[in-house]
Amino acid sequence: MPTNEDIAKVLGEIGEYLAMQDVPFKPRAYEKVAETIRSLSESVSEMYKKGGLSAVKNIPGVGASIAESIEEFIKKGKIAYHEELKRGAPVNLAELRRVEGLGPRKIKILYQKLGIRTLSDLKKAATSHKIRSLEGFGEKTEENILKGIEFVNASGDRKILGFILPDIRVIEDNLKKIKGVSKVVVAGSTRRRRETIGDIDFLVVSEKSEPVMDFFVNMPEVARIMAKGPTKSMVHLKSGLDADIRVVPKESYGAALNYFTGSKDHNVALRKLAIEKGYKLNEYGLFKIKGKGGGEEKIAGDTEEGIYKALGLPYIEPELREMMGEIEAAKSGKLPKLIDYKDLKGDLQVQTSWTDGSASIEEMAIAAYEQGLSYMVVTDHTKRLAMTHGLDDESVLKQGKEIDKVNQKLKEKKIKFYILKGTECDILKDGSLDLSDKVLATLDVVGVSVHSYFNLPINEQTKRVEKAIRNKNVDIFFHPTGRLINKRSAYEIDMERIIKVAGETGTVLEIDAYPDRLDMNYEYIRQCVESGVKMSIDSDAHATTHFQYLEFGIDQARRGWAEKEDIINAWPMEKMLSMLKGETND
Positions 163 through 192 that interact with ligand DGT (CB under 6 A)? 188-189
Contact call for residues 400 and 391 (beta carbons, < 8 A)? no
* 418-426, strands of its sheet edge to edge: 346-350, 375-378, 418-426, 445-449, 476-477, 508-512, 535-538
Contact call for residues 346 and 376 (beta carbons, < 8 A)? yes
Q: Nearest approach, Cβ of 61 to Zn ion (angstroms)?
A: 21
Q: Does 195 bind Ca ion (CB under 5 A)?
A: no
Q: Does 522 bind ligand DGT (CB under 6 A)?
A: no
Burial 128-153, CB ≥16 within 10 A → b, else e: eebbeebeebeeebbebbbbbbebbe
- Give 453's Cβ-side CA count (13 Å radius): 18
Question: How many chain residues bind ligand DGT (CB under 6 A)?
Answer: 14
Q: Which residues pair with 377 in a beta bridge?
A: 420
Q: Does 322 bind Ca ion (CB under 5 A)?
A: no
Distance CA 335, CA 315 (A): 9
Q: Which of 72, 199, 317, 363 binds Ca ion (CB under 5 A)?
A: 199
Give long-range contacts, CB 8 A cutoff, 24+ apart: 500-504.
500/531, 501/466, 501/469, 501/470, 502/469, 502/477, 502/528, 502/533, 503/531, 503/532, 503/533, 504/584, 504/585
129 contacts which partner out of Zn ion, Ca ion, ligand DGT, none, CB within 5 to 8 A by kind?
Answer: none
97 vs 194, which CB is nearer to ligand DGT? 194
264 contacts which partner out of ligand DGT, Ca ion, Zn ion, none, CB within 5 to 8 A by kind?
Answer: ligand DGT
Q: Which of 6, 35, 142, 244 binds Ca ion (CB under 5 A)?
A: 244
Q: Does 201 bind Ca ion (CB under 5 A)?
A: yes
249 contacts which partner out of Zn ion, Ca ion, ligand DGT, none, CB within 5 to 8 A by kind?
Answer: none
Minimal CA–CA distance to 420: which of 343, 342, 475, 477? 475
Q: Which of 267, 355, 358, 371 binds ligand DGT (CB under 6 A)?
A: 267
Q: Does 198 bind ligand DGT (CB under 6 A)?
A: yes
Positions 224 through 263 that interact with ligand DGT (CB under 6 A)? 259-260, 262-263
222 vs 428, which CB is nearer to ligand DGT? 222
Q: Nearest approach, Cβ of 3 to Ca ion (angstroms)?
A: 18
- Phi/psi region, residue 240 (left: phi>0; alpha: psi -120 to 50; beta: rest), is left
Q: Does 494 bind ligand DGT (CB under 6 A)?
A: no
Q: Give the SS3 label for residue 442.
A: coil
Q: Nearest approach, Cβ of 155 to ligand DGT (angstroms)?
A: 13
164 vs 339, which CB is nearer to Ca ion? 164
Tell me how far apart the 2 most distant CA atoms of the chain are, in Å.
84
Q: Does 197 bind ligand DGT (CB under 6 A)?
A: yes
Distance CA 138, CA 318 (A): 47
Q: What are phi and psi of 543, to 5 degrees?
A: -155, 160
Positions 446 through 505 that interact with Zn ion (CB under 5 A)? 449
225 contacts which partner out of ligand DGT, Ca ion, Zn ion, none, CB within 5 to 8 A by kind?
Answer: none
Q: Helix (H) and strand (E) counts for the chain? A: 24, 17
Sign of the torsion formed by the C-alpha atoms of 9, 10, 15 and 20: positive
Q: Nearest approach, Cβ of 194 to ligand DGT (angstroms)?
A: 6
Q: Nearest approach, Cβ of 19 to Zn ion (angstroms)?
A: 22
Contact call for residues 565 and 343 (beta carbons, < 8 A)? no
Stretch touching ligand DGT by CB under 6 A, among 16-24, 170-178, 195-203, 345-353: 195-203
Q: Does 268 bind ligand DGT (CB under 6 A)?
A: yes
Q: Nearest approach, Cβ of 335 to ligand DGT (angstroms)?
A: 20
**Beta-carbon neighbour count of residue 387 at 10 Å?**
9
> Which residues are near Zn ion by CB under 5 A?
449
> Which residues are near ligand DGT by CB under 6 A?
188-189, 194, 197-199, 201, 259-260, 262-264, 267-268
> Which residues are near Ca ion by CB under 5 A?
188-189, 199, 201, 244
